[in-house]
Amino acid sequence: MKILMYSTHEHEQTYAEESAKETGNQVTMEMVPLTKETVAMAKGYDGVSVQQTSRIDEEVYRALHELGIKQISTRTAGVDMFDLQAAAQNGITITNVAIYSPRAIAEMGVTHAMYLLRNIGRFNQRMDNDYDFRWSGDLIAKEIYTCTVGLIGAGHIGGATAQIYRALGARVIAFDRHPDPELAPYMEYVDFETVLKESDILSLHVPLLPSTEKMIDAAAIAKMKDNAILINMARGGLVDTQALIDALNSGRLGGAGLDTLADETTYFGKQVDAEEVPDDYHELEEMPNVVITPHVAFFTNVAVRNMVRISLDDVVAVIKGQRTKNIVK
């Protein structure tokens, strides 16, 4: 079977080659994303795998259909880059890797939170700019076991996040439309308003949908605790960026840990010139109480291997008409 991997990164190559050797499938790796300009590269292949956050245009699905391609397997959990209706209309099945390493994302979120909770950025700013090494009372920190951590979304990643915080002694509360009884030892399910009002650390773990876009806006922030910390390891579009900047500038929020931003597709994963980076990034990056990482919460050896191997396995499963739990509906 011939499989074309779009948007292949160097760190994925070893695992793609490992899969090809074990299965006997031909896996061709290309660095470019799947777009209307590159879709013709799939001619002669049985299936495709992608990894991108940029939107896939409707005409791409028609072109794949004409090439006889019946599926797209994304090496990500998120699927907001797809037009699922257009895919279905063209007989294309979409699969994702919903569970590749929940702990990878959970650990990064906790890392951001601990950095902010202990005011490390603020200490660094004073030491670097003013050679001020004093123990300032305005930088005294909370200990994690005294905090309430709120989760919006308690799926695989949210659940792993809850377990880590609970092990550290924090109280964990969560809002999720589909509570999981197995997570009861680690968290208390509450409503959305309660999560906003009671959380010292608010961590987002939901997909980007029309119903969740800008769910953390000025109104939501106004309900949050004074000096609360916002952690977003999910999708940038969940947060109204300007409302977040305003809340940080005013001191309403104590900090933000962001592995994703609303307009990241224009520069994350690339090396660009300074003028190509949006103003909101520059404004956030200059704040000592903000941590930004370029959508790399997933970036561990375990996660990358699982993303590649599961994605390639799903390509084969869909083409052969076999069952896979990763079909996106």
Q: What is the CATH number of the domain that holds 213?
A: 3.40.50.720
Does one domain contain both 178 and 188?
yes
Which pLDDT belongs to residue 234?
95
Q: Are residues 90 and 43 in the same domain?
A: yes
Task: Give Cα separations from 205 to 53, 96, 323 (angstroms).
Answer: 17, 16, 27
275 to 16, 260, 281: CA distances (angstroms):
35, 19, 11
Give catalytic residues, as residue numbers: 235, 264, 295
Predicted local distance difference test score (pLDDT) of residue 53? 86
pLDDT of 292-318, one tens digit each? 999 999 999 999 999 999 999 999 999
Give the residue among 19, 89, 87 at the shortest CA–CA distance from 307: 19
- Does 328 fall in a domain? no
Query: What is the C-alpha to C-alpha distance for residues 98 and 113, in angstroms, rounded to an integer?
Result: 24
Is residue 329 domain-resident? no
Residue 61 pLDDT > 90: yes
Strands (E), 143-277: 148-152, 171-175, 188-189, 201-204, 228-232, 253-258
Model confidence over 196-248: pLDDT tens digits? Answer: 999 999 999 999 999 999 999 999 999 999 999 999 999 999 999 999 999 99
Residue 269 reports pLDDT greater than 90: no
Span 135-174, pLDDT tens digits: 999 999 999 999 999 999 999 999 999 999 999 999 999 9
Judgement on whether residues 220 and 310 belong to the same structural domain of the protein = no
**Same-domain check for residues 94 and 152:** no
Q: What is the pLDDT of residue 166?
A: 98
Query: Is residue 121 located within the same domain as residue 250?
Result: yes
Residues 275 and 236 in one domain: yes
Alpha-carbon distance of 258 to 210, in angstroms, equals: 21
Both 96 and 216 in one domain: the answer is: no
Q: Over 90: is that where the pLDDT of 98 sits? A: no
How much is the average pLDDT of 82-107?
A: 96
Do the strands 171-175 and 148-152 form a parallel or antiparallel pair, or are they unpaired? parallel
Range of the domain at 193: 102-292
* Whether residues 73 and 121 fall in one domain: no
Q: Percentage of the chain with pLDDT > 90? A: 97
The helix or strand, by DSSP H or E, that contains position 72, with its residue range, turns out to be strand 71-74
**Residue 157, domain member (yes or no):** yes
Q: How far apart are CA 58 and CA 63, in angstroms?
A: 9
Residue 159: what pLDDT?
97
170 & 186 share domain = yes
Alpha carbons 300 and 49: distance in angstroms, whole number: 20
On the question of pLDDT at 184 being above 90, the answer is yes
For the full predicted model, state whether its pTM sits above 0.95.
no
Task: Answer yes or no: do 216 and 199 share one domain.
Answer: yes
Q: Is residue 324 part of a domain?
A: no
As for how many domains the chain has, the answer is 2
Among candidates 108, 148, 123, which has minimal Cα distance to 229?
148
Does 134 map to a domain? yes
Q: Average of pLDDT values for 83-106?
A: 96
CA angle 42, 311, 317 (to 5 degrees): 85
Q: Note whether 205 and 222 are same-domain residues.
A: yes
- Position 80 in a domain: yes
What pLDDT score does 275 carry? Answer: 92
Looking at the structure, tell me whether residues 187 and 176 fall in a common domain: yes
In a domain, residue 169? The reply is yes
